[in-house]
Amino acid sequence: MLCTGALVLFGAAGSVSADHDADLLERGKGIAVAQERIVAATSGIETLPSESDAKRWLTAATSASTTVTEVQNTFLENTGPLDLSGVPLDYQEPTGRTVVYTEQERMVLAQEMREEKIGGLDRRLLSFFSTQDTDGSGFNAASDWLLGLDTAKDPIAGTLRWSAPEVGSFDQHGTSTIVWELRGVDGSLAAWATATFDHATVKMTGLVLHEAAPTDGEPR
């Protein structure tokens, strides 16, 4: 009986000791967590830019944002019915004879001029966006954003304009959020897009394009 009691006591002592060790380990996990925070903060300081680098960050981000805005507005300017105002009415043959373009020929010329204007714009966008990540619908940031919007069917689409403010700030992760707004001449908001600019890679990721819901009594 006493032997059994002794065994129980030794067993209990072992159990208490093991539980205690486990308890201390559990309580000590806070040290590892704190250590990770220290490492993250210390390495974070090392990756922060100098003042001159930070200035370059903001300049580069604004330049990228402005280029994207200009490209998207060029797409917009070349949306909708063909504009014949810039198309010549006639041309001169080598013999000196003046030949007047037909309406149909002028339409073809206008289309060619439009394609020339928007040709290569996708490649300019590729400098800032990756085409690798697209959603199920195949929307591609490095393309004409209007194509992803119902607004494209609106006759006034060509009068809308994209705009984005200068990039004047960056967060602690070395990124800046850019918001583009698509507005009509009356200031009404038709759509907006957001993306994250990574100053280290000088690339934008995660473009999300939203179309504004029509307000009451305002058919789209």
Site for another protein in 44-73 (CB under 8 A): 44-45, 48-51, 54-55, 57-58
Return the number of the residue (58 or 64) whose C-beta is nearest another protein: 58
Parallel, antiparallel, or unpaired: how do β-strands 175-183 and 161-163 relate?
antiparallel
Yes or no: say if 159 and 182 are a contact pair by the CB < 8 Å rule: no
Yes or no: say if 73 and 162 are a contact pair by the CB < 8 Å rule: yes
Separation of alpha carbons 37 and 124, rounded Å: 40
Site for another protein in 151-190 (CB under 8 A): 165-170, 172, 177-179, 181, 189
Site for another protein in 62-121 (CB under 8 A): none
Return the number of the residue (39 or 99) whose C-beta is nearest another protein: 39
Query: Out of 72, 78, 79, 140, which residue is the one contacting another protein (CB under 8 A)?
Result: 140
SS3 179: strand
Q: Which residues contact residue 206 at a Cβ distance below 8 angstroms, ignoring those fewer than 6 apart?
A: 194, 195, 196
Q: How distant, in Å, are the alpha carbons of 42, 43, 173, 174, 175 from that of 38?
A: 6, 8, 16, 19, 21
Q: How far is the CB of 16 from another protein (least distance, A)?
A: 4
Of 76, 130, 84, the closest CA to residue 104 belongs to 84
200 is a contact residue toward another protein (CB under 8 A): no
Q: Give the binding-site size for another protein (rule: CB under 8 A).
A: 71
Site for another protein in 5-44 (CB under 8 A): 5-10, 12-14, 16-17, 20, 23-24, 27-28, 30-31, 34-35, 37-38, 41-42, 44
Return the number of the residue (31 or 89) whose C-beta is nearest another protein: 31
